Amino acid sequence: MMRWILVALLWAGSTATSHAAVLVASFSQLTGNQWQTDLVLVNDGTPEQITGFTVYFDQSLFSDLSVANSPVNWDSLVVQPDLALASPGFFDSLVIDPVSALSLGQQQAGFSMLVRYDGPGSPSMLPFEIVDSQFNVLFSGMTSPIPELPGWALLLIGLPLLSRWAMRMGDLIARSDR
């Protein structure tokens, strides 16, 4: 049984990945097709500092984008999607002062926008890019609906569950041997 626990621990450690950033998006339906999108940006790796990002909204699903809130030290704007040009809309935000850039482990909440969503169900993951001050793309990804836990936190959560399962299996085997 210990061998299986060791295998599970090694597997959990090998699946840990790092990102340049995690962008957590949460969606709240206001009325009808009107939704509020709240974003939290987390620097979880390279580059050393994050100075800007862009989130894209598919032109066939989203319209009427507007900035509802932006942190004081960030400059945010939206560009509307264009069906005729098959061009997605986007929310773009850059730090005003480089001192406000996000270093490793820091996060910035307070980005909020209003959108019209005409797709099925509710909005979900959105493509995003981390950009530098010259708009060079440093990282691309998809927003997360919930924050990702680090590998060590998942391990701490999983070990007691795995241990309990192992004890129950041992009890079942012992009972069947009687």
Q: What is the pLDDT of residues 71-108, one digit of tens each?
A: 999 999 999 999 888 899 999 999 999 888 999 999 99
Q: What is the reported pLDDT for 148?
A: 45
What percent of the chain has a predicted confidence (pLDDT) above 90? 54
**Cβ atoms within 10 Å, residue 39:** 24
Integer-rounded Cα radius of gyration of the chain: 22
- Burial label for 33, CB within 10 Å (0-12, 13-18, 19+), is middle
**Cβ atoms within 10 Å, residue 63:** 17
Q: What is the reported pLDDT for 3?
A: 47
Cα end-to-end span (Å), the chain:
20
Cα–Cα distance measured from residue 54 to residue 76, given in angstroms and rounded to the nearest whole number: 10
Amino acid at site 81: P
Q: What is the pLDDT of residues 3-26, one digit of tens each?
A: 444 444 444 444 445 557 899 999
Please indicate, yes or no, whether the overall pTM of this predicted structure exceeds 0.95: no
- Spatial CB neighbours of 59, under 8 Å, sequence gap ≥ 6: 81, 82, 83, 86, 87, 88, 89
Mean of per-residue pLDDT scores for the chain:
82
Cα–Cα distance measured from residue 59 to residue 123, given in angstroms and rounded to the nearest whole number: 13
- Spatial CB neighbours of 3, under 8 Å, sequence gap ≥ 6: none
Q: What is the pLDDT of residues 122-149, one digit of tens each?
A: 998 999 999 988 889 999 899 987 544 4
Q: What is the pLDDT of residues 109-125, one digit of tens each?
A: 999 999 999 999 999 89
Q: What is the pLDDT of residues 23-34, one digit of tens each?
A: 999 999 999 999
